[in-house]
Amino acid sequence: MSGVLRRIWQSLFRGDVSRVFVILILLFSTAITLLLTGLQLWRDYRYELNVLDQRLEQVRISNLESISQSVWTYNLSSLEIQLQGLVRQQDISFISVEDGDGETLLSVGENIEEDALQQSYALTYIHRDSPRLLGQLHVKASLQGIYGRLLNTFVVILITQAVKTFLVSMFIIYLFDRMLMRHLRRLVDQLGEHYSRAKPFNIERSVTEFNKEDELNTLVSSLNRLQNTIETEHQKLELLASFDSLTGLPNRIQLKETLDARIQAGQPFWLGILDVNDFKNINDTLGHQSGDQVLYDIGLRLKCLQTPHCFFARLGGDEFACVFDGDAPARTIADTILQKFEAPFLLHAVQLQLSVSIGLVSFPDQASDAQQLMKFADIAMYHCKKSRSEFARFDPQLDEHSLNNLTLMTDAKQALENKQFCLHYQTQIDSDTGEVSGLEALIRWQHPTQGFISPDDFIPSLELSGDINALSCWVLEQALTDYEQLKPHLSKPLALSINISALNLLEERFLDSVEVIMQRFSERPQLVMEITENALMSDPEYACTMMQALVKHGVEFSIDDYGTGYSSLSYLSRLPVSELKIDRSFIFDMETDLRHFTIVQSTVQLAKSLDLRTVGEGCETAISSSILKDLNCDKQQGYFFSRPVSMEALISYFQSLEDSDDTSLSVELISDE
């Protein structure tokens, strides 16, 4: 008996399944018990009320006539004896008799106000065949007795059902543990033991005449079949994990193992990274399936070079890696690889002449571990692409440049968070009046240690880090804030131009941010966003959609550096553009270069035909300014009028104009750089 109790106790508290199972059984049994008990008590309550109603009705049938007789004869002693007899009946607590005027003649018992059932009967007496109303008989029956009996019934049912539920639950738990849980625990123990050894296994279970066809035996057989299937698939996955499925070459994992083994051996070797030039054009032109075929053919050619002293692997995409033994010259290793790309690749009767960029790094001269080798070879490969050479050997200066770019990216992000940027403003002059008609906000960064850093250097870093939206929004908000300070000193509103990145027009969140910022400035200037024409070519359709959405919020767009890019007139006519800024390279020497003069002239004429404004930037001489005016260029911008200056200097200049009639602008009047 003690062993059974101990087993039940262990089943209750040893495992989560047993504990939950017990709790669920008890909760369910308790709920059913309470429901059935409630139904039984309600039935008993209705029965007791019915019995009480019958008892009161019996009072009317048996005693009403005699009580009426006693009232008629005014025999109060007899009446009291009758009432006392009735009050002694079960549950009847109070009886009273009233005369015809509503006065109480006699009452017996305790008159309770709550939890009572009351009946009233008319007392009549037939005198000379004529009924006469003598008064009322009031009978009250207390429900407290019924409540007490129901409570006793509830307690008895609850105790008996609780004991029965507990005993049945314990018996179920015992059977549950005996027939199921102990077998499952044994299976889990076997699984844990075999998995810790990381070897194939089969689960063992004693099979008897009684259990050979039960669910547990079926489960064991299924687990064993599953284990065999997993082992087979595991072997296939191990093979796939070490080789590239498309080319059949070893993959990055095998490359890492090979590098570690060679580094451990300490023998010198070369690591090279190969990248197929312009491979994206193959996918875009012929489709990805054709691109995969080309990669497969490349894999076949590189396999021909695979020897114990020469190892090739595919890193992914159109990137491959090679490891060469020894300290042979980099030129020799590169020629060995390039030779395999001399013959054209045949694809659907089309001959493709492919070239590769190869970056090489040597061990142990230039790198001491696998991570450094991969990094330096990658840097050399990208330098090779940039210089358009066939191969490049790693140079420490290349790494320094790469590190500087990474440091600049981090510093630029921190500068944005620490508000190290500031805005300077260059004026735009109306060609007809010679007055200031607009301002262009230009961002400046004075690095704490490196000094002034050009936007051409840190803007690409912020584009790579994904922080360009935050920077553009800061420029917009700061420019509008500065304009609020300048507005009291202006005799007329000025246009305000800011530069945005192409990536801004590819991010929907930029549109939302602009809406929020512009809502905070109710009286805004004419806001112009400048963007280069090359930037629009990456996704002109989406850029056009974003620009149209911004135009609805009062933004105008200007094509910056117009004439240096590759945009087509068809796109230009479809974009919601209001202004063209002619690149400074044409303005600077149009006095002496007839071709540049012609470009400026045709650009102005083109803009006029499309109803666009024109701005000639880079105007640095009086002659250039005069030519732009003669060509009907709307605005001029350049050092001839003003260098970019701080907002404080700009405010000081316009304050000086308030006391002067001279509205011309010169470098001497406004320049703090």
Tell me how far apart the alpha carbons of residues 293 and 513 are, in angstroms, rounded to a whole number: 45
Tell me how far apart the alpha carbons of residues 397 and 467 are, in angstroms, rounded to a whole number: 28
Which pLDDT belongs to residue 640? 92
Tell me how far apart the alpha carbons of residues 467 and 497 are, in angstroms, rounded to a whole number: 21
> 638: which DSSP letter?
S
Q: Residue 259's closest CA among 357, 367, 380?
A: 367
**Cβ proximity of 619 and 643 under 8 Å:** no
**571-577, long-range: CB < 8 A, 24+ apart:** 571/536, 571/537, 571/540, 572/533, 572/610, 573/610, 574/544, 575/536, 575/540, 575/543, 575/544, 575/547, 576/544, 576/547, 576/548, 576/551, 577/547, 577/612
* 311 φψ region: left (φ > 0), alpha (ψ -120 to 50), beta (else): beta
Which pLDDT belongs to residue 195? 55
Tell me how far apart the alpha carbons of residues 442 and 423 are, in angstroms, rounded to a whole number: 6
Over residues 195-214, mean pLDDT = 53
Find the range with the poorest average confidence among 6-20, 267-281, 430-444, 646-660. 6-20
Which pLDDT belongs to residue 232? 72
Which pLDDT belongs to residue 585? 86
- Which residues lie below 8 Å from residue 426, measured CB to CB, with a gap of 6+? 439, 440, 442, 637, 642, 643, 644, 645
**Cβ proximity of 651 and 489 under 8 Å:** yes
pLDDT band at 298 (very low <50, low <70, confident <90, very high): very high
Find the range with the poorest average confidence among 56-60, 564-568, 598-602. 564-568
Q: What percent of the chain has pLDDT over 70?
A: 81
> 492: which DSSP letter?
S
Find the range with the poorest average confidence among 116-130, 277-291, 528-542. 528-542
Tell me how far apart the alpha carbons of residues 643 and 645 are, in angstroms, rounded to a whole number: 6
Residue in the block written with tokens 């991570």 = 371
- For 251-280, the pLDDT digits (tens) are 888 899 999 999 998 889 999 999 998 787
Q: Residue 45 burial by CB count (10 A; 0-12/13-18/19+): exposed, middle or buried?
A: middle
Over residues 633-640, mean pLDDT = 94
Which pLDDT belongs to residue 301? 92
Q: Residue 244 burial by CB count (10 A; 0-12/13-18/19+): exposed, middle or buried?
A: buried
Which pLDDT belongs to residue 189? 66
**Cβ proximity of 665 and 641 under 8 Å:** yes
pLDDT band at 473 (very low <50, low <70, confident <90, very high): very high
β-bridge pairing 555-562 and 526-532: parallel
pLDDT band at 206 (very low <50, low <70, confident <90, very high): low
Which pLDDT belongs to residue 538? 57
Which pLDDT belongs to residue 428? 95
> 85: which DSSP letter?
H
**Res. 406: pLDDT tops 70:** no
- Which residues lie below 8 Å from residue 600, measured CB to CB, with a gap of 6+? 582, 586, 587, 590, 616, 627, 628, 631, 633
**Res. 629: pLDDT tops 90:** yes
Single pTM value for the model: 0.49
Tell me how far apart the alpha carbons of residues 137 and 268 are, in angstroms, rounded to a whole number: 123
What are the start-end ranges of the H helices in 103-250? 144-176, 182-197, 215-242
Which pLDDT belongs to residue 274? 92
Greater model confidence, 130 or 113: 130
Buried b (16+ CB within 10 A) or exposed e, 474-502: bbbbbbbebbeebeeeeeeebbbbbbbbb
71-85, 613-627, 653-667 — most confident range: 613-627
- For 412-422, the pLDDT digits (tens) are 888 888 888 99
Q: Is 289 helix (H, G, I), strand (E, B) or coil?
A: helix
Cis (ω within 30 of 0) for the bond into 308?
no
Over residues 299-311, mean pLDDT = 90
Q: Which residues face 422 on adjacent strands?
A: 444
Find the range with the poorest average confidence among 183-187, 469-473, 662-666. 662-666
Question: Cβ of 162: how many Cβ atoms within 10 Å?
Answer: 14
Q: Is 588 helix (H, G, I), strand (E, B) or coil?
A: helix
* Beta-carbon-side half-sphere exposure of residue 176 (alpha carbons within 13 Å): 18
Which pLDDT belongs to residue 673? 46
> 177: which DSSP letter?
I
Q: Is 522 helix (H, G, I), strand (E, B) or coil?
A: coil
Tell me how far apart the alpha carbons of residues 474 and 465 are, in angstroms, rounded to a whole number: 16
Q: CA distances (Å), 440 to each of 415, 642, 657, in order?
A: 22, 11, 20
- Both tokens of residue 417? 């968070």
Q: What's the chain's average pLDDT?
A: 81
The DSSP string of 384-396 is HHHHT-SEEE--H
- For 151-201, the pLDDT digits (tens) are 888 888 888 877 887 787 777 777 777 666 666 666 666 666 655 555 555
**Cβ proximity of 121 and 137 under 8 Å:** yes
Tell me how far apart the alpha carbons of residues 314 and 254 are, in angstroms, rounded to a whole number: 10
pLDDT band at 210 (very low <50, low <70, confident <90, very high): very low
Position 589: which residue type?
Answer: D
pLDDT band at 399 (very low <50, low <70, confident <90, very high): low
Buried b (16+ CB within 10 A) or exposed e, 132-146: eebbbbbbbbbbeeb
Which pLDDT belongs to residue 350? 76
pLDDT band at 668 (very low <50, low <70, confident <90, very high): very low
pLDDT band at 117 (very low <50, low <70, confident <90, very high): confident
Radius of gyration of the chain (CA): 49
Q: Is 495 helix (H, G, I), strand (E, B) or coil?
A: strand
**Res. 339: pLDDT tops 60:** yes
- For 22-76, the pLDDT digits (tens) are 677 777 878 888 888 888 888 888 888 888 888 888 888 888 888 888 878 888 8
Question: Cβ of 662: how many Cβ atoms within 10 Å?
Answer: 9
Q: Is 646 helix (H, G, I), strand (E, B) or coil?
A: coil
Q: Residue 666's closest CA among 638, 640, 635?
A: 640
Over residues 84-99, mean pLDDT = 84
**Res. 222: pLDDT tops 80:** no
SS3 for 341-386 is: HCCCEEECCEEECCCEEEEEEEECCCCCCHHHHHHHHHHHHHHHHH
Tell me how far apart the alpha carbons of residues 69 and 75 are, in angstroms, rounded to a whole number: 8
Greater model confidence, 444 or 55: 444
- Both tokens of residue 170? 């314990």
Over residues 507-533, mean pLDDT = 88
167-176, 332-341, 401-410 — most confident range: 332-341
**Res. 558: pLDDT tops 60:** yes
- Both tokens of residue 264? 């451990």
Question: Cβ of 215: how many Cβ atoms within 10 Å?
Answer: 9
Which pLDDT belongs to residue 418? 84
- For 450-464, the pLDDT digits (tens) are 888 888 878 877 876
